[in-house]
Structure 1
Amino acid sequence: MGEERVDRSEGFGERLLGGLLDRARLLPPQLIAPLIAEGVAGIGGREVSILLQDYAQELLVPLPGRKLHVGQPEPMADSPAGRAFLRVDVVEVPQAGGGVRMYLPLLDGSDQVGVMALTLDTVDDDDRRLLRRLAGLVADMLVTKNAYTDQFFLARRREPMSVSAEIQWGLLPPLTMTVPQVAVAGILEPAYRVAGDSFDYALNDNILHLAVIDAMGHDLDAAAMATIVIGAYRHARRVFVSLAEKYAFMDRAISRQFGNDHFVTAQLMHLNIATGELELVNAGHPAPLLIREGTVVRQLESATTLPVGFGGETPRIKEHTLQPGDRVLCYTDGIIEERDDYGQPFGEERLIHCVNRLGQEPSDGVRADLRRLSHTLKKERRGRTSDDATLFMIEWHGGAADPLATLD
């Protein structure tokens, strides 16, 4: 009996996506936009827009480019593009003159890059399937070409950015990561002037490694310290195992470079995403908040540890166990130390009140919920952000990984 022949002929979808992939490899960044528009036209799409998130996470701004439709920025809240971006879902809007305007989230892995908008005369399930895959390819192309150009940065920047903020944004990992067991999201304020705050994370096997830091001072001095301490953290993460060793390595890096009159507060965590076991070292930072079913249930306490750079003793590691659905909110002191009209600090109690109030609303996912919290806190502070104010949230679900992704 002869071996059954596998059909390897090129179908319509492969021809469309494969053609884009083949051509994008050699194209300079400025020609990616017309290539995308050409690919969408191949399935009858028109008025193609690529919308990228601005740094303040308030607007989705159109990427300029030949053959792209460049309209006005769309608000992240209360717009079809914003709903597609924040809910990570396709939004379809029937047009008065006929046709359907589609908004597709651009996902590079699990990080949202932006939104692709286009208009079709009619839409069926074949169109939806192919467009979702096309959007994934477009996201990968944008992320790859972003490394070679300032074009995408300039589109996202809505006001002048300080040198220290440029340094910090260049230091950050993706603002969002989502896998079945855990999701994370972070946000920095003031987006265009941030200096000493930063965060970093990595998922290595079943362990989520996390650091949130706040370097003393302002402007370039703080940005330089943040750069060195994050660099030291990443090096230690890739060499050492324990949180105590990470702390010691970061401490030595700051003290040797800046002396004992400079310091960085830090929060270091290991989270086993399969079991929910959390290890915590808190070096002069506000304690993280444990949120369960939308309500803050307690602070995650840890043994007292000196800030990084003061040559503290080996820190004692505090262990906690999360339940499925728990969220952990990390924040820097710029959130709670901002002064109101009467000179009073914003305070942890008001932070918890805002978290609890928003926790009673339907959730749109970690990134959307954290963005809503950040903007609510800023509104409560009457727009004041005189110091860096960073939020970072972890949502743990647990469970086994997809067995198809596990190699024997």
Structure 2
Amino acid sequence: MSEGFGERLLGQLLDRAHEMPPQLLAPLVAEEVHRIGGRDVSILLQCYEQVELVPLPGRGLTVGEAVPIDGSRAGEAFLRLAAVEDEQDDGVRMYLPLLDGSDEVGVMALTLDTVEDDDRRLLRRLAGLVADMVVTKGAYTDQFFRTRRRQPMSLAAEIQWSLLPPMSMNNPQVSVAGILEPAYAVAGDSLDYALNDDILHLAIIDAMGHGLNASVLATVAVGAYRHARRADVGLAELYAFMDRAIDEQFGPDQFVTAQMMRLDVGTGHLQWVNAGHPAALLIRGDRVVRVLENPGTLPVGFGGAEPLISSMDLQQGDRLMFYTDGLVEEHRPGQEQFGEERMIDIIEQVGPTTQGVQHMARNLSHALKRERGGTTSDDATIFLVEWRGGTADHLAMLDL
């Protein structure tokens, strides 16, 4: 079977990827683009606050200023998860989202004299390969992490970010997306999820206290959650394992509030344990239709509590919003707390203006921060889940 020109280019990149050192990603991508007649190549990575796209430095790349996600063509591609073409005097400036699986890394920008369908197809595949390489090569270097930072990061936040899974995932059955504030000083908030066959597992936690101690407490809680989850136990056993781990390590004076969830992505059946955490919200048709205020369980770490498991069946298109108390407890000196009611009003304003849960999580977090006067004195985390149902089996079928 003969290879076309585009297939050969992508094949060369794949052939070299496994042994290529991270610093050669930039010149190799630039060379690939130049071979198809492109120029002025930039790789823009999302900053930790999800506010800007920051150019990655490297030989062969065009490095300018960071660009805002809101109001820029690069940001449009990032938010729409689709290529954007900008007609200019010297050609067509293309912006392609960098998707690692379905987690969005950033945007690749380049200029071509003209753009045809073959160019679009090749560049879409190249952007996917570049995103995968940024993620895999990022495990071997600090360069990509440094690029994404727009201000100094605390040690506690460094630990927390190293724990986190990809902050978004999207497939035909379910989408998830999260955001943590303050991005460079988060300490006790954390989350984790995994899609194992047809079951989406999720935990969101808020460790008591602030700073490094809260970060260490959260680290143990997330580690215990993963350990129990990977042993494929039910929610009751999972809670008991986390509870015992925190109690034995830190004693009864320190604890973690948490919610642990299991969602069957085929049927929409939801089970959850609320361990002293703010109740999740059910969003249907851009309206908050229910606060999931079922009987609660003691926070993780008090030792020996019997967990109460709640359940319900979702409708296709339903969204669940999990959050930590920093979102609603923020207040200015002498004033009342922000509160759940005001938060729900903003959710119902922001929801109709967004596309997908990643866009909604980001815009909602930023809108809530503005409404709180631009301050986040405590950790404030949002995690959204949208259930679509159906099956993804068609993605395993090859079109020949």
Question: TM-score range, shorter-chain basis?
Answer: over 0.9
Matched-pair contact (CA < 8 Å) for 1:185–1:394:
yes
Match of 2:42 among 35, 40, 49: 49
- Where does structure 2 lack aligned partners over 5 or more consecutive residues? none
Counterpart CA distance in 1 for 2:58 and 2:77 is 22
Matched-pair contact (CA < 8 Å) for 2:244–2:304:
no
Counterpart secondary structure, 1:305? coil
User: Counterpart in 2 of 1:365?
Assistant: 356
Q: Which amino acid aligns with 2:153?
A: M
User: Counterpart in 2 of 1:185?
Assistant: 177
Matched-pair contact (CA < 8 Å) for 2:92–2:115:
yes
After superposing on structure 2, the runs of 4+ consecutive aligned residues of structure 1 that deviate more than 3 Å are none
Counterpart CA distance in 2 for 1:139 and 1:70 is 18
User: Counterpart in 2 of 1:351?
Assistant: 343
Counterpart CA distance in 1 for 2:351 and 2:9 is 43
User: Counterpart in 2 of 1:326?
Assistant: 318
Counterpart CA distance in 2 for 1:92 and 1:229 is 45
User: Counterpart in 2 of 1:195?
Assistant: 187
Matched-pair contact (CA < 8 Å) for 1:270–1:280:
yes
Match of 2:102 among 86, 110, 130: 110
**C-alpha deviations, 1:355-404, integer Å up to 9, x for none?**
0111232x311101110000000000011100000000000100122245
Does residue 173 of the first structure (1) align with residue 165 of the second (2)? yes
User: Counterpart in 2 of 1:87?
Assistant: 80
**C-alpha deviations, 1:203-251, integer Å up to 9, x for none?**
0010000000000001110000100000000000011321111110000
Match of 1:10 among 3, 11, 21: 3
Pairwise CA distance, 1:21: 1.4
Pairs aligned (count): 398
Pairwise CA distance, 1:48: 0.1
The farther-off stretch of 46-55 and 298-307 is: 298-307
Does residue 288 of the first structure (1) align with residue 289 of the second (2)? no
Counterpart CA distance in 2 for 1:193 and 1:129 is 41
- Where does structure 1 lack aligned partners over 5 or more consecutive residues? 1-7
User: Counterpart in 2 of 1:300?
Assistant: 292
Counterpart secondary structure, 2:242? helix
- Percent identical: 67
Counterpart CA distance in 2 for 1:328 and 1:77 is 25
Matched-pair contact (CA < 8 Å) for 1:301–1:318:
no
Counterpart secondary structure, 2:328? coil
Does residue 377 of the first structure (1) align with residue 368 of the second (2)? yes
User: Counterpart in 2 of 1:248?
Assistant: 240
Counterpart secondary structure, 1:371? helix
Counterpart secondary structure, 1:311? coil
Counterpart secondary structure, 2:327? coil
Which structure 2 residues correspond to residues 329-340 of structure 1 after superposition, within 5 A?
329-340=321-332
Counterpart CA distance in 2 for 1:10 and 1:59 is 39
User: Counterpart in 1 of 2:384?
Assistant: 393
User: Counterpart in 2 of 1:58?
Assistant: 51
Q: Which amino acid aligns with 2:200?
A: L
Does residue 227 of the first structure (1) align with residue 210 of the second (2)? no
Q: Which amino acid aligns with 1:371?
A: R
Match of 2:70 among 61, 65, 77: 77
Counterpart CA distance in 2 for 1:30 and 1:221 is 35
Pairwise CA distance, 1:311: 1.3
Q: 1:404 to 1:117 in 2, by over 3 A?
A: closer
Q: Which amino acid aligns with 1:18?
A: G
Q: Which amino acid aligns with 1:91?
A: V
Pairwise CA distance, 1:62: 0.1
Q: Which amino acid aligns with 1:133?
A: R
CA RMSD of aligned residues (A): 1.2
